[in-house]
């Protein structure tokens, strides 16, 4: 009996010592990248930060989050880039405080993330509302931390029709959309999958479900306030001041942002070019994923 106890004790000692030894010798798997960045006291944004090399920073559309870029992360990291997706306040896993949700706030938040992460010489890419936010950021902060701008189905230079600008959503339809965010948000979001698809097509059911789940994670208050702010934003006067290289990705069959709006951006941005996505609607990042990824890589490497 004493022999058995002695053997058991010896075995336990060996197991414990090996465990301690293996832990002290183990190289940490954590790369030191924070998943949340504080942009002002009490407000943290969720950030996907993967890879090493030339940074590409991606801003989501309305009412999505940084999760929309999952296939861009997978591709770009393996091509040698550091890719960073930022969920704006009120969206995805970011904090959802009461307060302002306008484009000055979004630009300030983007700057805070880039400054905190010490990002330089980045490509800044924005989809839909995120495209408008990206243009606003470049103008407000004079291209701080970035050297190129990519716009994907951007809700710009104006999402809404205005005097002298006949493109985009009408005042009446914009008001109806804002009301719907306050009275039947779940129905609105359920219909976005069909609205995102190219004319005459539908997105795969699981893709629609994936996008719907992301959209439902947004704060209802932020959803309403941000789209109302987008309706007030007119970026036409600032385009002439943007001189960094700009790539404009646009689905030819986009039902939400017409191709003519991309052409207006191209006319206003002196150092820009358009990449046509012939088979895509608004969801060009999944509808023509391979082309989207390779064209973004090509632009980043120029």
**Which residues are tagged catalytic?**
128, 254, 282
Complete edge-to-edge strand list for the sheet that includes strand 146-152:
36-40, 43-50, 82-86, 55-59, 122-127, 146-152, 246-251, 272-277
- Give strand pairing partners of 259: none
**Is residue 134 a contact partner of residue 149, using CB atoms and an 8 Å limit?**
yes
User: Within a 10 A sphere around the Cβ of 169, how many other Cβ atoms?
Assistant: 20
Q: What is the spatial distance between Cα 114 and Cα 148, in angstroms, rounded to a whole number?
A: 14
**Is residue 159 a contact partner of residue 169, using CB atoms and an 8 Å limit?**
yes
Count the alpha carbons within 13 Å of 155 in the hemisphere toward its beta carbon: 27
- Give strand pairing partners of 151: 126, 248
**Assigned token pair, 285:** 């990042």
Chain length of the chain: 302
């Amino acid at each position: 009996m004493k022999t058995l106890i002695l053997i058991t004790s010896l075995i336990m000692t060996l197991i414990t010592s090996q465990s301690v030894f293996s832990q002290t010798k183990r190289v940490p798997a954590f790369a030191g990248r924070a998943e949340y960045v504080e942009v002002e006291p009490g407000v943290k944004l969720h950030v996907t930060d993967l890879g090493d090399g030339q940074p590409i920073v991606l801003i989501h559309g309305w009412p999505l989050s940084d999760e929309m870029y999952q296939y861009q992360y997978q591709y770009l990291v393996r091509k040698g880039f550091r890719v960073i997706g930022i969920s704006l306040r009120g969206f995805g896993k970011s904090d959802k405080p009461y307060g302002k949700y306008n484009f000055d706030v979004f630009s300030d938040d983007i700057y805070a993330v880039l400054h905190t992460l010490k990002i330089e010489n980045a490509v800044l890419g924005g989809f839909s509302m995120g495209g408008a936010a990206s243009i606003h950021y470049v103008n407000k902060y004079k291209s701080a931390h970035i050297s190129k701008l990519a716009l994907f189905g951007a809700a710009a230079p104006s999402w809404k029709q205005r005097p002298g600008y006949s493109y985009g959503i009408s005042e009446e339809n914009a008001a109806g959309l804002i009301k719907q965010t306050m009275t039947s948000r779940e129905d609105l979001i359920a219909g976005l999958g069909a609205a995102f698809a190219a004319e005459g097509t539908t997105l795969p059911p699981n893709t629609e479900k994936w996008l719907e789940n992301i959209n439902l994670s947004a704060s209802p208050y932020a959803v309403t306030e941000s789209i109302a702010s987008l309706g007030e934003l007119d970026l036409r006067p600032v385009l002439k001041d943007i001189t960094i290289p700009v790539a404009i990705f646009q689905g030819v069959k986009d039902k939400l942002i017409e191709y003519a709006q991309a052409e207006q951006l191209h006319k206003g941005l002196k150092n820009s070019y358009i990449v046509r996505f012939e088979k895509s609607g608004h969801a060009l990042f999944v509808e023509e994923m391979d082309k989207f990824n390779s064209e973004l890589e090509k632009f980043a490497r120029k």
